[in-house]
Amino acid sequence: MTQDRPVLGILLMLGFCVVAPLGDAVVKLLGTSVPVLVLLVMRFGIQALILVPIVISRGGLGWLRRSVIGWIALRTLLHMAAIAAMFTALKYLPLADAVAISFVMPFLMLLLGRFLLGEEVGMRRIIACLVGFGGTLMVVQPSFAEVGWPALWPLVVAVLFSLFMLVTRQIARGTDPIGLQAVSGAMAVVLLIPAWFLASALEVAPSDLAAVSAVDWGLLVSVGLMGTVAHLLMTWALRFAPAATLAPMQYLEIPLATVFGFLMFGDLPNLLASAGIAVTIGAGIYVVLREHAVARATTRLKEQAEAGLSRLTPPPEPAPAQAP
Protein backbone atom coordinates (compact mmCIF):
# COMPACT_ATOMS: atom_id res chain seq x y z
CA MET A 1 0.00 0.00 0.00
CA THR A 2 1.23 3.50 -0.80
CA GLN A 3 1.46 5.82 2.18
CA ASP A 4 -1.08 8.66 2.08
CA ARG A 5 0.40 11.93 0.83
CA PRO A 6 -2.72 14.06 0.48
CA VAL A 7 -0.97 17.20 -0.83
CA LEU A 8 0.59 15.22 -3.67
CA GLY A 9 -2.74 13.51 -4.37
CA ILE A 10 -4.53 16.86 -4.51
CA LEU A 11 -1.89 18.30 -6.89
CA LEU A 12 -2.24 15.28 -9.18
CA MET A 13 -6.03 15.64 -9.17
CA LEU A 14 -5.66 19.34 -10.00
CA GLY A 15 -3.55 18.26 -12.95
CA PHE A 16 -6.36 15.93 -14.04
CA CYS A 17 -8.91 18.75 -13.73
CA VAL A 18 -6.79 20.90 -16.06
CA VAL A 19 -5.83 18.24 -18.62
CA ALA A 20 -9.28 16.63 -19.03
CA PRO A 21 -11.24 19.76 -20.09
CA LEU A 22 -8.27 20.98 -22.15
CA GLY A 23 -8.43 17.70 -24.06
CA ASP A 24 -12.18 18.23 -24.58
CA ALA A 25 -11.45 21.73 -25.90
CA VAL A 26 -9.01 20.33 -28.46
CA VAL A 27 -11.64 17.74 -29.49
CA LYS A 28 -14.09 20.60 -30.02
CA LEU A 29 -11.52 22.31 -32.24
CA LEU A 30 -11.26 19.14 -34.33
CA GLY A 31 -14.97 18.35 -34.32
CA THR A 32 -15.81 20.06 -37.59
CA SER A 33 -12.86 18.69 -39.57
CA VAL A 34 -12.08 15.20 -38.20
CA PRO A 35 -14.57 12.27 -38.11
CA VAL A 36 -15.47 10.85 -34.70
CA LEU A 37 -14.20 7.40 -35.72
CA VAL A 38 -10.74 8.82 -36.46
CA LEU A 39 -10.75 10.65 -33.10
CA LEU A 40 -11.56 7.38 -31.33
CA VAL A 41 -8.83 5.40 -33.08
CA MET A 42 -6.23 8.02 -32.17
CA ARG A 43 -7.52 8.41 -28.61
CA PHE A 44 -7.32 4.70 -27.77
CA GLY A 45 -4.39 3.90 -30.05
CA ILE A 46 -2.10 6.34 -28.26
CA GLN A 47 -3.37 5.07 -24.91
CA ALA A 48 -2.34 1.54 -25.87
CA LEU A 49 0.96 2.74 -27.36
CA ILE A 50 1.93 4.48 -24.11
CA LEU A 51 0.61 2.05 -21.51
CA VAL A 52 1.33 -1.39 -23.00
CA PRO A 53 5.16 -0.91 -22.77
CA ILE A 54 4.74 0.34 -19.18
CA VAL A 55 2.76 -2.78 -18.25
CA ILE A 56 5.32 -5.07 -19.93
CA SER A 57 8.18 -3.36 -18.04
CA ARG A 58 6.28 -3.91 -14.76
CA GLY A 59 5.92 -7.66 -15.25
CA GLY A 60 3.09 -8.08 -17.72
CA LEU A 61 -0.49 -9.18 -17.08
CA GLY A 62 -0.09 -11.60 -14.21
CA TRP A 63 -3.17 -10.07 -12.55
CA LEU A 64 -5.40 -10.74 -15.59
CA ARG A 65 -7.83 -13.59 -14.94
CA ARG A 66 -10.10 -15.24 -17.46
CA SER A 67 -13.13 -14.45 -15.29
CA VAL A 68 -12.67 -10.67 -15.75
CA ILE A 69 -11.94 -10.57 -19.49
CA GLY A 70 -15.64 -10.32 -20.34
CA TRP A 71 -16.08 -7.49 -17.82
CA ILE A 72 -13.07 -5.67 -19.29
CA ALA A 73 -14.54 -6.04 -22.79
CA LEU A 74 -17.87 -4.61 -21.60
CA ARG A 75 -16.04 -1.78 -19.83
CA THR A 76 -14.10 -1.01 -23.02
CA LEU A 77 -17.27 -0.90 -25.14
CA LEU A 78 -18.93 1.47 -22.64
CA HIS A 79 -15.82 3.66 -22.56
CA MET A 80 -15.69 3.87 -26.36
CA ALA A 81 -19.39 4.68 -26.60
CA ALA A 82 -19.16 7.34 -23.87
CA ILE A 83 -16.18 9.08 -25.46
CA ALA A 84 -17.85 8.94 -28.88
CA ALA A 85 -20.97 10.53 -27.37
CA MET A 86 -18.87 13.26 -25.72
CA PHE A 87 -17.01 13.97 -28.96
CA THR A 88 -20.39 14.27 -30.71
CA ALA A 89 -21.78 16.55 -27.99
CA LEU A 90 -18.81 18.90 -28.33
CA LYS A 91 -19.67 19.45 -32.00
CA TYR A 92 -22.93 21.13 -31.01
CA LEU A 93 -22.59 22.55 -27.50
CA PRO A 94 -20.35 25.08 -25.74
CA LEU A 95 -17.57 23.32 -23.86
CA ALA A 96 -18.73 24.36 -20.37
CA ASP A 97 -22.34 23.31 -21.04
CA ALA A 98 -21.32 19.86 -22.34
CA VAL A 99 -19.04 19.22 -19.35
CA ALA A 100 -21.59 20.55 -16.83
CA ILE A 101 -24.46 18.44 -18.19
CA SER A 102 -22.31 15.30 -18.15
CA PHE A 103 -21.70 15.90 -14.42
CA VAL A 104 -25.13 14.47 -13.73
CA MET A 105 -23.12 11.22 -13.64
CA PRO A 106 -22.59 11.08 -9.83
CA PHE A 107 -26.34 11.24 -9.29
CA LEU A 108 -26.95 8.51 -11.85
CA MET A 109 -24.28 6.33 -10.24
CA LEU A 110 -25.95 6.72 -6.86
CA LEU A 111 -29.34 5.70 -8.24
CA LEU A 112 -27.95 2.87 -10.38
CA GLY A 113 -26.03 1.58 -7.38
CA ARG A 114 -29.30 1.59 -5.43
CA PHE A 115 -31.39 -0.22 -8.04
CA LEU A 116 -28.79 -2.46 -9.72
CA LEU A 117 -26.45 -3.29 -6.83
CA GLY A 118 -28.87 -2.93 -3.91
CA GLU A 119 -26.74 -0.27 -2.20
CA GLU A 120 -28.32 1.74 0.60
CA VAL A 121 -29.23 5.30 -0.38
CA GLY A 122 -30.75 7.64 2.21
CA MET A 123 -33.49 10.18 1.64
CA ARG A 124 -31.12 13.15 1.89
CA ARG A 125 -28.96 11.82 -0.92
CA ILE A 126 -32.04 11.11 -3.06
CA ILE A 127 -33.17 14.72 -2.53
CA ALA A 128 -29.67 15.92 -3.48
CA CYS A 129 -29.91 13.82 -6.66
CA LEU A 130 -33.22 15.46 -7.56
CA VAL A 131 -31.73 18.90 -6.94
CA GLY A 132 -28.73 17.98 -9.10
CA PHE A 133 -31.02 16.80 -11.90
CA GLY A 134 -32.85 20.12 -11.63
CA GLY A 135 -29.57 22.00 -12.00
CA THR A 136 -28.68 19.88 -15.02
CA LEU A 137 -32.02 20.68 -16.66
CA MET A 138 -31.31 24.38 -16.12
CA VAL A 139 -28.11 23.93 -18.13
CA VAL A 140 -29.81 21.79 -20.80
CA GLN A 141 -32.73 24.17 -21.39
CA PRO A 142 -30.91 27.07 -23.14
CA SER A 143 -28.74 24.62 -25.11
CA PHE A 144 -31.83 22.65 -26.16
CA ALA A 145 -33.54 25.87 -27.27
CA GLU A 146 -30.52 26.69 -29.42
CA VAL A 147 -29.45 23.35 -30.97
CA GLY A 148 -32.38 20.99 -30.30
CA TRP A 149 -31.96 17.28 -29.58
CA PRO A 150 -28.12 17.24 -29.82
CA ALA A 151 -28.18 19.09 -26.46
CA LEU A 152 -29.06 15.72 -24.89
CA TRP A 153 -25.81 14.03 -25.95
CA PRO A 154 -24.08 14.88 -22.63
CA LEU A 155 -26.89 13.03 -20.81
CA VAL A 156 -26.04 9.98 -22.94
CA VAL A 157 -22.41 10.50 -21.88
CA ALA A 158 -23.46 10.55 -18.22
CA VAL A 159 -25.49 7.33 -18.51
CA LEU A 160 -22.69 5.47 -20.34
CA PHE A 161 -19.98 6.68 -17.95
CA SER A 162 -22.15 5.73 -14.95
CA LEU A 163 -22.43 2.18 -16.30
CA PHE A 164 -18.70 2.25 -17.09
CA MET A 165 -17.91 3.18 -13.48
CA LEU A 166 -20.22 0.50 -12.09
CA VAL A 167 -18.48 -2.15 -14.20
CA THR A 168 -15.10 -0.76 -13.10
CA ARG A 169 -16.25 -1.06 -9.48
CA GLN A 170 -17.01 -4.75 -10.04
CA ILE A 171 -13.47 -5.54 -11.24
CA ALA A 172 -11.41 -2.92 -9.40
CA ARG A 173 -10.20 -5.26 -6.68
CA GLY A 174 -7.41 -7.48 -7.87
CA THR A 175 -6.73 -5.54 -11.08
CA ASP A 176 -3.84 -3.21 -11.80
CA PRO A 177 -5.35 0.17 -12.83
CA ILE A 178 -2.63 0.98 -15.36
CA GLY A 179 -2.77 -2.57 -16.72
CA LEU A 180 -6.53 -2.27 -16.99
CA GLN A 181 -6.20 0.91 -19.05
CA ALA A 182 -3.56 -0.73 -21.27
CA VAL A 183 -5.74 -3.76 -21.95
CA SER A 184 -8.76 -1.53 -22.60
CA GLY A 185 -6.77 0.59 -25.06
CA ALA A 186 -5.55 -2.48 -26.93
CA MET A 187 -9.06 -3.98 -27.02
CA ALA A 188 -10.49 -0.72 -28.34
CA VAL A 189 -7.92 -0.56 -31.15
CA VAL A 190 -8.65 -4.18 -32.12
CA LEU A 191 -12.35 -3.29 -32.36
CA LEU A 192 -12.02 0.16 -33.96
CA ILE A 193 -9.58 -0.55 -36.80
CA PRO A 194 -11.88 -3.12 -38.52
CA ALA A 195 -14.84 -0.79 -37.89
CA TRP A 196 -12.88 2.02 -39.53
CA PHE A 197 -12.17 -0.02 -42.69
CA LEU A 198 -15.74 -1.32 -42.78
CA ALA A 199 -17.16 2.19 -42.47
CA SER A 200 -14.88 3.36 -45.27
CA ALA A 201 -15.86 0.47 -47.53
CA LEU A 202 -19.60 0.87 -46.93
CA GLU A 203 -19.47 4.68 -46.73
CA VAL A 204 -21.80 4.54 -43.72
CA ALA A 205 -19.74 6.91 -41.56
CA PRO A 206 -17.17 9.56 -42.41
CA SER A 207 -13.68 8.13 -41.90
CA ASP A 208 -11.68 9.68 -44.76
CA LEU A 209 -8.16 10.73 -43.78
CA ALA A 210 -7.44 12.71 -46.93
CA ALA A 211 -9.00 15.87 -45.49
CA VAL A 212 -7.01 15.70 -42.21
CA SER A 213 -4.33 18.40 -42.27
CA ALA A 214 -0.90 18.22 -40.68
CA VAL A 215 -2.06 20.58 -37.92
CA ASP A 216 -5.07 18.36 -37.24
CA TRP A 217 -2.80 15.31 -37.00
CA GLY A 218 -0.79 17.11 -34.32
CA LEU A 219 -3.99 17.94 -32.44
CA LEU A 220 -5.16 14.32 -32.77
CA VAL A 221 -1.94 13.12 -31.17
CA SER A 222 -2.41 15.66 -28.37
CA VAL A 223 -5.96 14.34 -27.76
CA GLY A 224 -4.61 10.82 -27.27
CA LEU A 225 -1.79 12.05 -25.03
CA MET A 226 -4.05 14.22 -22.87
CA GLY A 227 -6.66 11.48 -22.50
CA THR A 228 -4.01 9.00 -21.36
CA VAL A 229 -2.23 11.48 -19.08
CA ALA A 230 -5.56 12.48 -17.50
CA HIS A 231 -6.32 8.87 -16.57
CA LEU A 232 -2.81 8.36 -15.21
CA LEU A 233 -3.05 11.52 -13.10
CA MET A 234 -6.33 10.34 -11.61
CA THR A 235 -4.93 6.85 -10.97
CA TRP A 236 -1.83 8.23 -9.25
CA ALA A 237 -3.89 10.76 -7.27
CA LEU A 238 -5.99 7.93 -5.83
CA ARG A 239 -2.81 6.14 -4.75
CA PHE A 240 -1.74 9.08 -2.57
CA ALA A 241 -5.02 10.50 -1.22
CA PRO A 242 -8.42 9.04 -0.24
CA ALA A 243 -11.17 9.11 -2.86
CA ALA A 244 -13.37 11.13 -0.47
CA THR A 245 -10.74 13.89 -0.43
CA LEU A 246 -10.37 13.97 -4.20
CA ALA A 247 -13.93 13.44 -5.44
CA PRO A 248 -15.23 17.00 -4.78
CA MET A 249 -12.24 18.40 -6.66
CA GLN A 250 -13.48 16.90 -9.93
CA TYR A 251 -16.08 19.65 -10.06
CA LEU A 252 -13.22 22.05 -10.80
CA GLU A 253 -13.48 20.70 -14.35
CA ILE A 254 -16.61 22.82 -14.90
CA PRO A 255 -15.13 26.29 -14.16
CA LEU A 256 -11.94 25.32 -15.98
CA ALA A 257 -13.98 24.18 -18.99
CA THR A 258 -15.72 27.57 -18.84
CA VAL A 259 -12.34 29.34 -18.94
CA PHE A 260 -11.07 27.21 -21.86
CA GLY A 261 -14.37 27.66 -23.69
CA PHE A 262 -14.16 31.43 -23.35
CA LEU A 263 -10.48 31.68 -24.30
CA MET A 264 -10.69 29.33 -27.30
CA PHE A 265 -14.24 29.83 -28.59
CA GLY A 266 -15.60 32.96 -26.91
CA ASP A 267 -18.38 30.91 -25.26
CA LEU A 268 -19.87 31.75 -21.88
CA PRO A 269 -22.92 30.13 -20.23
CA ASN A 270 -25.96 32.41 -19.98
CA LEU A 271 -27.51 33.33 -16.62
CA LEU A 272 -29.83 30.30 -16.43
CA ALA A 273 -27.07 27.86 -17.39
CA SER A 274 -24.68 29.50 -14.88
CA ALA A 275 -27.26 29.08 -12.11
CA GLY A 276 -27.75 25.45 -13.17
CA ILE A 277 -24.01 24.82 -13.06
CA ALA A 278 -23.86 26.24 -9.52
CA VAL A 279 -26.79 24.05 -8.41
CA THR A 280 -25.23 20.94 -9.99
CA ILE A 281 -21.85 21.57 -8.36
CA GLY A 282 -23.43 22.20 -4.94
CA ALA A 283 -25.63 19.08 -5.08
CA GLY A 284 -22.76 16.96 -6.38
CA ILE A 285 -20.38 18.03 -3.63
CA TYR A 286 -23.10 17.36 -1.04
CA VAL A 287 -23.60 13.82 -2.41
CA VAL A 288 -19.85 13.15 -2.31
CA LEU A 289 -19.50 14.45 1.26
CA ARG A 290 -22.60 12.55 2.38
CA GLU A 291 -21.23 9.34 0.85
CA HIS A 292 -18.00 9.91 2.77
CA ALA A 293 -19.89 10.50 6.04
CA VAL A 294 -21.99 7.34 5.58
CA ALA A 295 -18.88 5.28 4.77
CA ARG A 296 -17.12 6.55 7.90
CA ALA A 297 -20.14 5.83 10.07
CA THR A 298 -20.43 2.30 8.65
CA THR A 299 -16.74 1.65 9.28
CA ARG A 300 -17.04 2.97 12.84
CA LEU A 301 -20.03 0.70 13.56
CA LYS A 302 -18.17 -2.33 12.23
CA GLU A 303 -15.15 -1.52 14.40
CA GLN A 304 -17.38 -1.12 17.46
CA ALA A 305 -19.16 -4.39 16.71
CA GLU A 306 -15.87 -6.23 16.28
CA ALA A 307 -14.55 -4.72 19.51
CA GLY A 308 -17.72 -5.81 21.34
CA LEU A 309 -17.48 -9.35 20.01
CA SER A 310 -13.84 -9.59 21.06
CA ARG A 311 -14.81 -8.61 24.63
CA LEU A 312 -17.63 -11.16 24.74
CA THR A 313 -15.60 -14.04 23.34
CA PRO A 314 -13.94 -15.97 26.19
CA PRO A 315 -10.25 -16.70 25.87
CA PRO A 316 -9.40 -20.21 24.67
CA GLU A 317 -8.97 -22.80 27.38
CA PRO A 318 -5.42 -24.01 27.89
CA ALA A 319 -4.65 -27.39 26.45
CA PRO A 320 -4.56 -30.18 29.04
CA ALA A 321 -1.11 -31.10 30.22
CA GLN A 322 0.27 -34.28 28.71
CA ALA A 323 1.09 -37.06 31.11
CA PRO A 324 4.81 -37.80 31.22
Confidence of residue 26 (pLDDT cuts 50, 70, 90): very high
Q: What is the 3-state secondary structure (H, E, C) of the chain?
A: CCCCCHHHHHHHHHHHHHHHHHHHHHHHHHCCCCCHHHHHHHHHHHHHHHHHHHHHHCCCCCCCCHHHHHHHHHHHHHHHHHHHHHHHHHHHCCHHHHHHHHCCHHHHHHHHHHHHCCCCCCHHHHHHHHHHHHHHHHHHHHHHHHHCHHHHHHHHHHHHHHHHHHHHHHHCCCCCHHHHHHHHHHHHHHHHHHHHHHHHHHCCCCCCCCCCCHHHHHHHHHHHHHHHHHHHHHHHHHHHCCHHHHHHHHHHHHHHHHHHHHHHHCCCCCHHHHHHHHHHHHHHHHHHHHHHHHHHHHHHHHHHHHHHHHHHCCCCCCCCCCCC
pLDDT of residue 269: 86
Lowest mean pLDDT segment, chosen from 69-83, 173-187, 216-230: 173-187
pLDDT tens readout for residues 273-322: 889 888 988 888 887 777 777 767 777 777 777 666 655 555 555 555 55
Predicted TM-score of the model (pTM) = 0.80
